[in-house]
Amino acid sequence: MSSLLRTPLYETHRRLGARMVEFAGFEMPVQYRGVLAEHAAVRERAGLFDVSHMGQIELEGPAAVATAEHLLTRPVASLAPGRVRYGLLCNAEGGVIDDVTFYRLAPDALLLCVNAANIEKDWRWIARHSPPEAGARNRSDETGLLALQGPLAARVLDRVASPAASALGRWAFARLAVAGRPALVSRTGYTGSDGFELYVASSDLVAVFEALLAEGEPLGLVPVGLGARDTLRLEAAMALYGHELDETTSPFEAGLGRYVKLARGGFIGAEAIARRHAAGETRTLVGFELLVPGIARAEYEVAHGGRTVGRVTSGAPSPTLGKSIGLAYVPPDLAGVGTSLDILIRGRACAARVVETPFVKTTPQPTGTGGQ
């Protein structure tokens, strides 16, 4: 495993008893005590994730906003400093290169947070479409990222953050001191629960992680690995690049049409996305629950009336619901809630039903307005 990259928290993870696995070229914790316990901690209390494998690309300069407007499916100019949005990088055919969050750091500066597996690809794409005046820089190596998620996340963070983080509204961010270290803190996450993401210098990562763990543990916070990160995001029906999304996926078939501002136009892929959308998508991403025991895994076939009609993109037991859930692409006429489907598990047709997503409704949103 010597060729794998490690985050500065590698030794900390080992000390905490993590099982390490390869993910996107990094050696990352998949679990500490157990996926189910970590999942429950995030839904009921709080969990702390090292997601420093994710990438950060900054644009800073007179052409930064115009360049980002050209690259991203959502408007950038209208995003106020202190606010963050979720959006897509698409290719000229309207396929998804990556799904990202982007932060308006200043009138002429943006931060894009990209998937670990796509850092090099995204960086090449962004650099290729950025004039020198956009000041594009790949800051992935020097930036650490923690996610603090769960209903008690704000209470934990307020104990070590100055000024208080709980004033931040959803999709807002601010520069705070966390355990005395500078951190960019946003009220965002990938779990469907309330929470924060904290960008800190790689050299400060261990200190911030340890401080949050020490303050949080008395409240029931636990470290959480990638295993529970996946079951949490699946319950929230959030896409995972490489599963629900790839370069052939159109945003609308993936259910991400609300993150594409077609009327704006002028971004890469806009014409192709509009054309595919007008012609009618050939498949739609749906959520389903299994009606019989078993687990529908990614790549399993979906059948209807004895005919293969689609494929599972993600599937897992939902610890919160006590049901087996998943996401799958199916023809649009089979996407209605309540539609009966069969998932082929080891060749056996297992009954499933299309259900509404998210599978688990998110917690009440914070009312703070910081960053507006």
Partner 1 sequence: MADYEIPDDLSFTHEDEWVRREGNNLVVGITDFAQQQLGDIVYVELPPVGSTVSKGDPFGVIESVKAVSDLYAPVSGEVVDVNTDLAEHPEAVNEDCYGDGWMIAIAISSEDELESLLDVPAYRQHVDDRSD
Kindly list the residues in this chain that would bind partner 1 in the complex (CB under 8 A).
Answer: 19, 30-31, 34-37, 227, 230-231, 293-295, 297, 316-317, 346
Closest distance to partner 1 from the beta carbon of 29 (Å): 12
Q: Which two tokens stand for residue 56?
A: 């950060």
Own/partner contacts of 340-344, CB < 8 Å, gap of 24 or more, are 340/304, 341/288, 341/302, 341/303, 341/304, 341/309, 342/302, 342/303, 342/304, 343/288, 343/290, 343/294, 343/296, 343/300, 343/301, 343/302, 343/303, 343/312, 343/315, 344/300, 344/301, 344/302, 344/303, 344/308
Nearer to partner 1, 35 or 48 (CB): 35
Question: Nearest distance from residue 190's CB to partner 1, in Å?
Answer: 17
**In one letter, which amino acid is 297?**
R
Please, how many CA atoms are within 13 Å of residue 121, restricted to the half-sphere of its CB? 17
Angstrom distance (rounded) from CA 170 to CA 369: 8
CB of 156 to partner 1, least distance (A): 25
* Residue nearer to partner 1 on the CB measure, 227 or 370: 227
CB of 44 to partner 1, least distance (A): 16
Task: Provide, rounded to whole angstroms, the least separation between the CB of residue 317 and partner 1.
Answer: 5
Residue 258 vs 323, nearer CB to partner 1 = 323
User: Distance of CA 320 to CAs 38, 198, 234, 325, Å?
Assistant: 12, 26, 11, 11
Identify which of residues 31 and 191 has a Cβ nearer to partner 1 in the complex: 31
Nearest CB to partner 1, comparing residues 3 and 367: 3
**Shortest Å distance, C-beta 34 to partner 1:** 5
- Looking at beta carbons only, is 185 or 345 nearer to partner 1? 345
